Amino acid sequence: MFDLYGTESVLQYRGKDIICNPPHLFALANAACTKLKDFKENQCILISGESGSGKTEATKLMLRYMAAIGGMQNHHITQPILEASPLLESFGNAKTMHNDNSSRFGKYVELYLENGVINGASTSQYLLEKSR
Q: Tell me the CATH number at 44.
A: 3.40.850.10
Question: For 9-47, what is each residue's pLDDT tens digit?
Answer: 999 999 999 999 999 999 999 999 888 888 888 999 999
Q: How far apart are the first and last CA of the chain?
A: 42
50 is in an annotated binding site: yes
Specify if 1 maps to a domain: no
Q: Please give the DSSP secondary-structure letter assigned to residue 20.
A: S
Question: For 60-84, what is each residue's pLDDT tens digit?
Answer: 899 889 888 876 566 677 777 777 7
**The dihedral formed by the CA atoms of 8, 24, 13 and 75, expressed in degrees to the nearest 10:** -70
State which residues form the domain around 109: 7-127
96 is in an annotated binding site: no
Specify if 52 maps to a domain: yes
8 is in an annotated binding site: no
131 is in an annotated binding site: no
Specify if 132 maps to a domain: no
Please say whether the beta carbons of 13 and 21 come within 8 A: yes
52 is in an annotated binding site: yes
Specify if 2 maps to a domain: no
Q: How confident is the model at residue 117, as a pLDDT?
A: 79
**Counted domains in the chain:** 1
Specify if 76 maps to a domain: yes
Specify if 115 maps to a domain: yes
The answer for residues whose C-beta is within 8 angstroms of residue 49's C-beta and 6 or more apart is 55
51 is in an annotated binding site: yes
pTM exceeds 0.85: no
Specify if 95 maps to a domain: yes
Specify if 121 maps to a domain: yes
